[in-house]
Structure 1
Amino acid sequence: MNTTLPVARKANELTAALAARHALAILAGTAFIALAAQIAVPFKPVPVTMQTLAVVLVGWKLGGGRGLSAAALYGALGSAGLPIFAAGASGVGPSTGYVIGFVLAAAFVGWMSRENLSGWRALAVFGVGLALPYLPGLIWLSAVTGLGAPWSWPVLSVGMVPFIPGDLFKLGIAASVATAWAWRRRR
């Protein structure tokens, strides 16, 4: 004999359906980041991948918790050996700090995007989101390469400066997409 009340049974079904939707969104976000990591834009002197753009867009659309989860799953799968990092790389290496920073970036953008994100606010939120991976990235790069302190020119010249033009390009794309989305929703 089933002693569960119909209301409780329906609540359990809704909870399971919601959990499945959240899990699917996280998996889709992880897949989007992994796919974007394989797309290289030929900037000089260093080609730039679209994974950081994907990270901030995933955070924006999924929110802080699910965005964090998608970026963390991306990092965990790649670190465990799945070839989903840029150029099909995997494992722990000099860029691991940046991957750790992706989790911070997705969470930050997601938590700051609870309201509509457009215009100057979009530029500010996405700008911080794109900059966040540099903090753990440069610290990690400094530790594993021995080039000097994270703020020293040898580390900055390899781990940050070449990527600034690409980040500005991605900032423009992310802010434009969010602004267009907000404008479309207002219509």
Structure 2
Amino acid sequence: MTLSKALAPGASRGARAAQVLAGTALLAAASQISVPMFPVPMTLQTLAVLSIGMAMGTRMGVLTVAAWLAEGFMGLPVLANGGSTAAFFGPTAGFLLGFVAMVAVAGIAADRGVKSFLGLTVAGLIAGVVLYVPGLAWPALVMGKAMPDLLAGWMMPFVLGDIVKAVLAALIVSGGWSWLARR
């Protein structure tokens, strides 16, 4: 059972749809908190994606991130720095697609009943690695960037922040489980 199901057992389809919309709102807000960096700003998107996956599970998490991407593709200002449809065709599009894989990996842990801080942290770190696969493959393919350049400029500056965000997501969700257990 996931945290979202534990908090709202037997929720109707309407309630689940509201959870998805709340998740997209959280993700949109987290996307606007950023530190300018190249090639992408450092945002709280990964924290939100991990938290959504760890709390909602694979199915609801993927649905939430897909809905957020659809909102961005329609031109709504939900992506980092307000983003636009062009983000889906630029050099960082692989990271947008990678968020789907990231939330799925975090969601798998939730679906399998992982509730502990340590277990969720490990899941978050693995999900973070998964994000970089399409994130780095896309610019390698469309821009002809060499992998050493991508690792040095497109990954390494973000690794420490991504580790911290994986730990924070695990704290948030394991804390939610602890709170629920005390009720």
TM range, normalised to the smaller chain? 0.7 to 0.9
Residues 30-45 of structure 1: pairs in structure 2 closer than 5 A? 30-41=24-35
1:51 aligns with 2:45: yes
How much does 1:155 deviate?
Answer: 1.4
Give the corresponding residue for 2:75: 81
Match of 2:12 among 11, 18, 21: 18
Structure 1 stretches (4+) deviating beyond 6 angstroms? none
Whether the 8 Å CA contact 1:34–1:74 is kept in 2: the answer is yes
Residues 61 and 107 in structure 2, CA contact (< 8 A), matched pair in contact too:
yes
Say whether residues 1:186 and 2:156 are aligned partners: no
- Is 1:145 aligned to residue 143 of structure 2? yes
The runs of 5 or more residues in structure 2 that have no matched partner are 1-9
TM-score of the aligned structures, taking structure 2 as reference length: 0.82
Match of 2:3 in 1: none
Q: CA RMSD in A?
A: 2.4
Structure with bigger RCO (C-alpha 8 Å, 6+ apart):
2
Give the distance between the partners of 1:43 and 1:147, measured in 2 at CA: 18
2:62 and 2:103 in contact (8 A); partners too: yes
Alignment of 1:116-155 (within 5 A): 116-148=114-146, 152-155=147-150
How far apart, in 2, do the equivalents of 1:141 and 1:76 lie?
22
What amino acid is aligned across from residue 124 of structure 1 in structure 2?
V
Q: Compared with structure 1, are the counterparts of its residues 55 and 65 closer, same or farther at alpha carbon in structure 2 (3 Å cutoff)?
A: same
- Alignment correspondent of 1:167: 162
User: 2:5 matched to which residue of 1?
Assistant: none
Relative to the length of structure 1, the TM-score reads 0.81
Q: C-alpha offsets along residues 40-99 of structure 1, whole Å, 9 cap, x if unaligned? A: 25789x852000110011112222111101111112221332222111112222221111
Q: What secondary structure does 2:158 align onto?
A: helix
Distance change in 2, residues 1:33/1:179 (3 Å): same
- Say which structure is richer in helix: 2
Counterparts in 2 of 1:180 and 1:43: CA distance versus 1, 3 Å: farther
Larger radius of gyration: 1
Mark the CA change 1:18 to 1:26 in structure 2 (over 3 Å): closer, same or farther.
Answer: same
